[in-house]
Structures are given as C-alpha cells and as structure tokens.
Amino acid sequence: MDLSLTEEQLMIQETARRFADAELAPHAAELDLTKDYSRLAANCRKLAELGFMGLNIQSEYGGSEAGTVAFSLAITEVARCCAATAVTMSVTNMVAEVIQAMGTAAQKQQYLPGLCSGGFTAGSFCLTESGAGSDPASMRSRAETVAGGWRLSGTKQWITSAELAGVFVVWAVTDPEAPKGKGISCFLIPADADGISIAPAEKKMGQHGSPTNEVHFDNCFVPADALLGKLNDGFRIAVGELAGGRIGIGSLALGIGLAAMEYASAYLLERQQFGKPLADFQGLQWMLADCMTELEAARLLLMSAAWQKDSGQAFSKQASMAKLFSSEKANHACYTALQMLGGYGYMQEYPLERLSRDVRITTIYEGTSEVQRIIIARDLLKEAASQQV
C-alpha cells in the first residue's frame, strides 16, 4: 500500500500551511476575542482565491478538482491556525459538493461558481432543529405545496456561518403522512429570499470566531426548480452529506490537536523546573508521545476514509471511525497540552485555553461520538450477518 501523497496534494498541503501561518495564526486569538466576523469573511475570500472553497468541485464551475484527500489535508492545516475559519471552509466545501452531486445543471451553474470564487462568502446547511439533532428525521419544518412551488416554515438551529451564507441547503417535511424519514425533501434557497430571518450569533463555549445562528423560515416561497434531488428523498441526501462532512470535522479536530501539541512541545523545551527543562521529565515525554501517536493514527484513519471516498467506494463507516477517533483524541491532546503548561495553560494569553474550547465541539457536531458508534456498530453487524448467510 502506497501512503505517499501526490505532488498536487503536497502542493495543496504546503500552500494551506503557508497561508494559515501567515494570514490566520496572527489574528486567530483576536478573532476569538472580538467575534469580528468581517475578518472571518475576509479569510474565506482569501481561501476562495486559493481554490480552497471548492476543492472537490469540477473546474467548469470554478472548482479545484483536487479530491477529498487534498480537502482533508487543507482543512487540517487551516484548523491548526484558526478553527473558526476551518469550520466555515469545511461546511462551504460540503455545500458545494452536495449541489454538485444532486443538483440540476441550472442549479450547479447558479450556485457553484459563487461558492468556489468567494462570490458567496459561505454556504450553510439547515438541517438541525431544536428537537431534531441526532434524530433529523424528527424535523418539524414544513414545505407545503402552492402554485409554482412550496411555502416553507420552520426554524433551524445551530447553523454554522448562517449570517455569512449566500445559499442555504434546507430540509423540510413535504409529506407529513409518509413514514418517518420518508417524506423529507431538500431545497436550495438563496439567503436573500423573502421570509428568511437570521437570529444573532449564539453565545458558545468555543469557536467564538465562527457565527452559529438560528435561521427562521416564515412562509418562505420556494420555487419548483429549487428542489434538490428527488421529492421526498431529502433524508437520504442528508445522510450522504453527513458522511462526507465527518471527514472535514475529523480533519479540523486533528488540526487543533496538532496545534496544541506543537505549542506544548516548544514550551517543554523552554520552561525549566527543578533546574532542568520540562522536556527532560519522562512523565511529560510519555504524555507527548502518547498524544502524537494517537494523532498520527487519526491522520491515517482520515486519509483512509478520504481515499475510499475519492475511489468511489463506500466510506460511511470509515468516515465515522475517523471522525470519532480524531475528535476524541484531539480533545485528549488539547487537555493534555493544557496540563503540560500547568497554570499558564489556563490563561487566555496562551493558546491552549482557546484550543481546548474550540476542540470540544468536534465530538458533537456532524454527529456526536455516540451517534458515530451507533453507525459503526450497525455497519459492522450488517457485515457479520452477511457473512453468515
């Protein structure tokens, strides 16, 4: 098995690293403190100029056609310096991918060039509701048939980058009489459509530099040509989108974890206690070794899932494994690094405090760790059952 990266993938990784170090790292703490989303928007436009907002999108729509492995590599490098920018980059890429996969020719032409070029600062998914998070099939948003299309009403919760988005991918119930999950459809709705209102950004534990908003749809007219995919087939689209998004969030978590370990390693070399550098203490060496081993394993899981997706193979189980392991081990790495710094790690002037807050959400969004375990176990048991037949 050849695990080496292609020349193009290495170039994308290096470009992402240089951009993140030069443009994102110097301002990440300020973005977290001020919540100045205009800076986030500027970051996203610069990423679009580099081709990073459509890494797996065809060139005819302005995409880079670089593939999922390159997407994972770039997200990791961006997240290493600014998690807030990385999550907007990840979600926008996935919005573009679902439009490319399910959209009509007209829909692709309408939205993909804007997402790839930065004409739209971001794209957002409107799936989660207050009573439909891990169980999206329980959503209550409704789209009722009217002349020329639908009228959509409902509230979506915890929508990443909603106030920066140019287009929303929105799920709503179109057949309330259908069995659970069978009567849901998916729509493409421009952010300036009548009937859409966006609430102020939520106050969160971490990811302060990334706005997360409620999005309200009040009798929002959705024309017939805004239907994404087939009528009442939206739940299947959502499941497919989440699988790809898990590679992005796993890569984001990996980047945050690596940033924590890089800072802690430098600190161990510089800080002295009992007359010698902290790096000379075996207990701290083992903490560093364990965390870096886990993060390397996370990287390999992500590369495997990304490669299987690029190869056209089933990758849902692999994506869930990668997201579960990466997010859990990145959390462990951040809290371990904070512990290595002792009291300094708890102070806002050091990055471990921010990294530890930012990484916490990675075990929750795009499917909690518990949901990932359900998906993994379900697929494993299906495989075991098929072998017994």
CA-based torsion, 41, 43, 46, 47: positive or negative: negative
Instruction: Identify the pLDDT of residue 242.
Output: 83
Is 366 marked active-site? yes
93 closest CA partner among 66, 128, 129: 66
Please determine, for residue 389, whether its predicted confidence score (pLDDT) is greater than 80. Answer: no
Q: How confident is the model at residue 160 (pLDDT cuts 50, 70, 90)?
A: very high
CB contact set of 48 (below 8 Å; sequence gap of 6+): 54, 116, 117, 118
Instruction: Identify the pLDDT of residue 2.
Output: 77
Q: How confident is the model at residue 1 (pLDDT cuts 50, 70, 90)?
A: low
Of the candidates 65, 163, 366, 383, the residue annotated as catalytic is 366
| For the chain, the helix, strand and coil percentages under 3-state DSSP, each to the nearest 5 | 60, 15, 25
Q: How confident is the model at residue 281 (pLDDT cuts 50, 70, 90)?
A: very high
Report yes or no on whether pTM surpasses 0.85.
Answer: yes
CB 3 within 8 A of CB 303: yes
Q: What is the mean pLDDT of residues 101-129?
A: 97
Q: What is the mean pLDDT of residues 15-35?
A: 98
Superfamily per CATH, domain 7-121: Acyl-CoA dehydrogenase/oxidase, N-terminal domain (1.10.540.10)
Q: Give the amino acid at 70.
A: A
Q: What percent of the chain lies above the pLDDT cut of 70?
A: 99
Superfamily per CATH, domain 236-383: Butyryl-CoA Dehydrogenase, subunit A, domain 3 (1.20.140.10)
Q: What is the mean pLDDT of residues 214-224?
A: 98
* DSSP-derived secondary structure for 8-41: HHHHHHHHHHHHIIIIIGGGHHHHHHH--HHHHH
Query: Per-domain residue ranges for the chain?
Result: 7-121, 125-232, 236-383
Q: Tell which CATH architecture fits domain 125-232.
A: Beta Barrel (2.40)
Q: How confident is the model at residue 87 (pLDDT cuts 50, 70, 90)?
A: very high
Q: How confident is the model at residue 355 (pLDDT cuts 50, 70, 90)?
A: very high
pLDDT tens by residue, 196-209: 999 999 999 999 99
CA gap 61, 191 in Å, rounded: 20
Instruction: Identify the pLDDT of residue 48.
Output: 98
CB 98 within 8 A of CB 129: no
Please determine, for residue 280, whether its predicted confidence score (pLDDT) is greater than 90. Answer: yes
The average confidence (pLDDT) of the chain is: 96
Q: What is the mean pLDDT of residues 141-167?
A: 97
Instruction: Identify the pLDDT of residue 374.
Output: 97
CA gap 85, 82 in Å, rounded: 6
Q: Is 103 helix (H, G, I), strand (E, B) or coil?
A: coil
- Locus of tokens 């209102």: 197
CB contact set of 100 (below 8 Å; sequence gap of 6+): 56, 57, 58, 61, 63, 108, 112
- Locus of tokens 């989303």: 37
Instruction: Identify the pLDDT of residue 282.
Output: 97
CA gap 248, 118 in Å, rounded: 19
Q: What is the mean pLDDT of residues 347-373?
A: 97
Instruction: Identify the pLDDT of residue 68.
Output: 97
The neighbour count for residue 356, using CB atoms within 10 Å, is 22
Q: What is the mean pLDDT of residues 154-159?
A: 97
Q: What is the mean pLDDT of residues 236-250?
A: 92
CA gap 303, 110 in Å, rounded: 32
Output DSSP code: residue 216. Answer: E
CA gap 79, 77 in Å, rounded: 6
- Distances 129 to 9, 138, 155, 160, 215 between C-alpha atoms, Å: 37, 9, 7, 13, 10
Please determine, for residue 156, whether its predicted confidence score (pLDDT) is greater than 70. Answer: yes
